[in-house]
Amino acid sequence: MPLLWTVKHRPKTLSDVAGNKEAKESFIAWINSWQKGIPPKKAALLHGPPGTGKTVTVQAAANDFKFDLVEINASDKRTEEHLRKIAGGAATQGELFGRNRLILLDEIDGINLSEDKGAISTLVETIEHARCPIALTANDPWDPKIRPLRELCFAIEFRRLGVRDSLPYLKKLCVSEGIEADEQALRLIIDRNKGDMRSIINDLQTFTTGRKKLNYADVEWLSWRDRKDTIFDALRTVFSSKSGTQARRATDMADVDLDMFFEWIYENAPLQLTDPRDLANALGALSKADLYLARMKRLQAWQLLPFAIDQMTIGVALSKERTKPAWTPMRFPSRITSLSRTRKERALRSAIGAKIGAKSHVSSMAAVKHFLPYLSFVFQNNSEMASDITGWLDLNEEMVQYLSGKSIKEKERKARKPVKVKERQLATRKAARRRRAASS
């Protein structure tokens, strides 16, 4: 597998790190302050959204200032003992072979308090006794669990990268990879990733895998992905709002029509509300919304719309009382895919219904209900009777196949029972043979 560009093109020196000039400068200043003895803040907290260059800045600085970098990140175990051994040891021993050290505690807000027992207090202790710079990174500096750390740290904020910073970087990257990229395409990638450099580079690599050219048309679907993101956000609002007004706002966020939004909520409610009582309340609200929508369309009474929206957003949001919070991905409405999948079959069935209805004085709907199951039974058991009926009703080949259970779905259904019977017959026959063999 080719190397990830986010790894391959990771900046080696601070001047290569894109954007966040001020943040980089204050980090450099803080590192430099260590040359004049131990500064009042022995740790720096680099905070900001993902992909803004926090970790990369620390790594590049270590390289530039020739520090030995001791790195501990989220994927490592962070129990108290473990931290004490690595961070504590490294931090208090000062230098090794005359080289300065820099300790990086990455994604500090990812610490799991119940698993990493005492981690925070160990870190506080480590920072207090530190004899070398310690850098911490976090997405959310206001996370309550890292509050004791925040007070000990020199805080440096990293912001989302603008086009001005990321575009030149991407262009340089394209040159070094030998890719001819349309500037408009690069701009769209940057725009859709909201200043997250890591995902920008990942997207660029994905789009250019196996090719040397990148046009706007190649990345156009990103705008669709953005739509999908907005519907996911809207759904999350519906399923996690605690207040009615907040939940109701979801309909404005979703970039799809109301019927479609309803389908999304209806599809995902059972996945999001795992407590049966919550789900019952949510579906109760949805069924009311459905009724409002039906009345609205039937009577052209558009003034009913707000009441439908209330039920499908607020009604669903406030149903979440007992469900334990968990992250569950959203799913595309399966009802829509299943309807389009079975469209042909349904059309065929009502065509047969119409044929029966023409001869039997019933509507095609009633024919499907009152005759089809019996006809199907006849067609599967008696070809002579079936061919009489075929002639009388003037059925075509496809209809006959459907009635005989030869369409794919019917085949599966039919296969269930007869096979079992056959197996049983086979088993008894085998048993009889064995008995005969034993007696002779």
3-state secondary structure of 257: coil
Helix (H) or strand (E) run with residue 47 in it: strand 43-47
221 sits near another protein (criterion: CB under 8 A)? no
- Please say which residue, 100 or 274, places its beta carbon nearer to another protein: 274
191 sits near another protein (criterion: CB under 8 A)? no
Q: How far apart are CA 350 and CA 372, in angstroms?
A: 10
Q: Which of 42, 150, 248, 349 binds another protein (CB under 8 A)?
A: 349
Q: Which of 11, 118, 244, 284 binds another protein (CB under 8 A)?
A: 284
Q: Which of 99, 298, 324, 436 binds another protein (CB under 8 A)?
A: 298
Q: What tokens were used for 272? A: 């999001």
- Please say which residue, 213 or 346, places its beta carbon nearer to another protein: 346
Comparing CA positions, the residue from 105, 104, 109 lying closest to residue 140 is: 109
CB of 435 to another protein, least distance (A): 27
265 sits near another protein (criterion: CB under 8 A)? no
Q: Which of 58, 104, 186, 286 binds another protein (CB under 8 A)?
A: 286
User: Which one of 57-65, 83-91, 236-244, 285-293 is the stretch in contact with another protein (CB under 8 A)?
Assistant: 285-293
CB of 322 to another protein, least distance (A): 10
- Please say which residue, 221 or 332, places its beta carbon nearer to another protein: 332
361 sits near another protein (criterion: CB under 8 A)? yes
User: Which one of 16-24, 61-69, 114-122, 267-275 is the stretch in contact with another protein (CB under 8 A)?
Assistant: 267-275
Q: Positive or negative CA dihedral for 204, 157, 112, 86?
A: positive
354 sits near another protein (criterion: CB under 8 A)? yes
Number of alpha helices (DSSP H) and beta strands (DSSP E) in the chain? 25, 7
Q: How far apart are CA 120 and CA 352, in angstroms?
A: 72
258 sits near another protein (criterion: CB under 8 A)? no
283 sits near another protein (criterion: CB under 8 A)? yes
Cross-strand pairs, 236 = none
Q: What tokens were used for 202? A: 């990942």
| DSSP-assigned letters across all residues of 123-163 | HHHHHHT-SS-EEEEES-TT-GGGHHHHTTEEEEE--PPPH
CB of 288 to another protein, least distance (A): 9
Burial 321-355 (b: 16+ CB within 10 A, else e): eebeeeeeebeebeeeeeeeeeeeeeebbbebbeb
Residue 1, C-beta contacts closer than 8 angstroms, at least 6 positions apart:
none
Comparing CA positions, the residue from 12, 135, 126, 138 lying closest to residue 74 is: 138
Q: Which of 337, 381, 425, 428 binds another protein (CB under 8 A)?
A: 381
402 sits near another protein (criterion: CB under 8 A)? no
- Please say which residue, 69 or 372, places its beta carbon nearer to another protein: 372
CB of 420 to another protein, least distance (A): 13
Maximal CA-CA distance, the chain: 104
Residues that bind another protein (CB under 8 A): 266, 270-271, 275-277, 279-284, 286-287, 290-291, 294-295, 297-298, 335, 338-339, 342, 345-346, 349, 354, 356-357, 359-366, 368-378, 381-382, 385-386, 388-389, 391-393, 409
